[in-house]
Amino acid sequence: MINYQDICLKTVEIARNTGKFIKSEQEKLKNSDIEVKGIHNFVTHVDKYAEKQLVKGLLKVLPESGFIVEEETISKSGAHYTWIIDPLDGTTNYIHGLSPFAISIALQHDNETVVGVVYEISLDECFYTWKSGKAYLNGKEISVTQTNKVKDSLIATGFPYYDYHLLDKFMLSLRFFMENSHGVRRIGSAATDLAYVACGRFESFYEYSLSPWDVAAGAFLVQNAGGKVSDFKGGQNYIFGKEIVASNSNVFDEFFNILNKILV
């Protein structure tokens, strides 16, 4: 029988080792090292090498597994197990010498997430969880806040890089939360945003035009830390559906209903 705790802790070790490489390369990075994948969408040799390093390590943990990876360094399907990996979430921050930037790794078994790891490299903070387990930060159990009103919440979001079809409505949502909450933060890493909801630094997070590797691990962290996650319509298509709402359980309904009225 698969021991998800054991797999999770091995994944944490792999993420930490790769994070050391990513951190060591930051000051060496030159403009010539940066490739433009699309508008506001960048990649470096660090992303690609880090992804290869993660894949190599994770294949040793589960040789039969498949992969969904941002930088497409491997094409491999698994019969039951699939890793969903972002080797460097927050590349724009990274190339500008800012934080946060993070490694995001989720493991799915037959489309159910069973392991989630987000390693925010600049602060050396590793968030992790596994099926039927609690959520942890560097060995200490974490949980979402108990805040029960949007007016008392600090809210995180992200700006779309290329998909602007909801931009007008999105700007309305920003105005609402600016006027009716503790404020809005945009830190540039969706995986970290979700980890911060899980550990209580934010009450809520929402964003659209996201990819599976941005949210799979972080969403699982939020759930195992006592929070709730959905798409903009209240369904469960938040990993592959390119939109996500995540919050502590007490404020989720109010937060979701506000977003649903504005964005849907």
Shared domain for 174 and 122, answered yes or no, is no
Shared domain for 186 and 133, answered yes or no, is no
* Residue 143: burial class (beta carbons within 10 Å; 0-12, 13-18, 19+): middle
Shared domain for 107 and 197, answered yes or no, is no
Q: Name the residue among 33, 14, 173, 138 with its Cα closest to residue 87.
A: 14
**pLDDT of res. 3:** 97
Shared domain for 113 and 191, answered yes or no, is no
Shared domain for 40 and 165, answered yes or no, is no
Task: Please identify, among 110, 142, 174, the residue that sits at the C-terminal boundary of a domain.
Answer: 142
Q: What is the pLDDT of residues 64-113, one digit of tens each?
A: 999 999 888 888 889 899 999 999 999 999 989 999 999 999 999 999 99
Give me the domain span that covers residue 199: 150-263
Residue 80: phi, psi to the nearest 5?
Answer: -130, -30
Task: Please identify, among 113, 142, 171, the residue that sits at the C-terminal boundary of a domain.
Answer: 142
**pLDDT of res. 211:** 96
Read off the pTM: 0.95
Domain tally for the chain? 2
CATH assignment at residue 100? 3.30.540.10
Shared domain for 38 and 84, answered yes or no, is yes
Contact 57, 107 (CB under 8 A): no
Shared domain for 138 and 18, answered yes or no, is yes
Shared domain for 106 and 171, answered yes or no, is no
Burial of 70-86, coded b for 16+ CB within 10 Å and e otherwise, reads bbebbeeebeebbbbbb
Q: What is the pLDDT of residues 57-66, one digit of tens each?
A: 999 999 999 9
CB atoms within 10 A of CB 207: 22
**pLDDT of res. 43:** 61
Residues in the chain predicted with pLDDT less than 50, given as ranges, are: 40-41
Shared domain for 106 and 53, answered yes or no, is yes
Shared domain for 111 and 36, answered yes or no, is yes
Shared domain for 108 and 194, answered yes or no, is no
How far apart are alpha carbons 62 and 59 in whole angstroms? 5
**pLDDT of res. 128:** 99
